[in-house]
Amino acid sequence: MIRIMNILAIAALIGSAIYAYTIKYETIFHAETIVKLQHEIKSEQDKIGVLRAEWAHLIRPERIQALADKFLDLQTIALTQIVKADALPAKAPRVDAIGRKLEALGLAGPTNTPGNNIIDPAASATPGR
């Protein structure tokens, strides 16, 4: 009985030692990961800083104006072009421009297909033979 207790005690001792060591090594591993990540974060932050500076350099008004003058067909806004919202004209009645064009083409009217047997040379679109 006592022998079993001893064996158990030794086993518990070895087990707890192994467990403690595992914990210790895991801790070291995690600590190293943290340091590594911190370094990575630092380097990312440095990169962000560089990119921010670069972005600010690229969107500096001087450059944007030069580019706009070169590539855009725009002119400086005149003060007369700025009006209050209530100075805008009332909304015009809605116009269906495409529908009107289609109407002008006469597509809505009865069509003269050969199958209709109504021979109307004036309305026929194809030159008659």
Partner 1 sequence: MSDGFGADLDKEANGNARRRAPGGRLRTLAHLFSGLFSVRSEKSAYRIRLAAWVFLAVYAVIAAKLIDFGLRPDLPQTVKRAAADAIAAARPDILDRNGEILATDVKVMSVFAEPRRIIDKDEAVELLTAVLPDVDAHELREKLGSRKGFVWVKRGITPKQQQEVYRLGLPGVGFLPENKRVYPNGPIAAHVLGFANLDGTGISGLEKYIDGQGLADLHGAGFSLTPENLQPIRTSLDLKVTYAVRDELAKGIAKFKAKAGAAAILDVNTGEIIGMASLPDFDPNTPPDPHDLEYINRLSVGVYEMGSTFKAISIAMALDLGKVTLRSRIDARDSLRYGRFTIHDFHATHRVLSVPEVFTYSSNIGAARMALMAGVEAHKAFLNKMGQLSRLRTELPESAEPIVPKNWGELNTMTIAFGQGLNVAPLQAMMAVGALANGGYLITPTFLKRGEEDVKTQSPRVIKPETSEAMRYLMRLNAEIGTAKIADIQGYFVGGKTGTADKIIHGHYSKDKVFTTFMAILPADKPRYLYLALLDEPQGLPETGGYHTAAYNAGAVAGKMIERTGPLLGLPPRPDLPVQPFPLLAKLGYAEANQPAKGGGEH
For residues 128 and 121, is the Cβ–Cβ distance under 8 A? yes
Among 53, 118, 119, 123, binds partner 1 (CB under 8 A): 53
Report the C-alpha gap between 95 and 32 in whole angstroms: 70
**Judged by CB, which is closer to partner 1: 24, or 47?**
47
Asked if 105 is part of the footprint of partner 1 (rule: CB under 8 A), the reply reads no
Among 69, 75, 84, 110, binds partner 1 (CB under 8 A): 84
DSSP 72-87: ----PPPGGG---GGG
**Judged by CB, which is closer to partner 1: 70, or 94?**
70
Non-local (6+) Cβ contacts of 123 within 8 A are 112
Among 75, 76, 117, 126, binds partner 1 (CB under 8 A): 76
Among 30, 60, 100, 101, binds partner 1 (CB under 8 A): 60
Handedness of CA 113, 115, 116, 118 (dihedral sign): positive
Asked if 1 is part of the footprint of partner 1 (rule: CB under 8 A), the reply reads no
CA distances from 44 to 2, 36, 39, 125 (A): 61, 12, 8, 72
Binding region for partner 1 (CB under 8 A): 2-3, 6-7, 45-46, 49-50, 52-54, 56-57, 60-62, 65, 76-77, 79-80, 82-84, 87
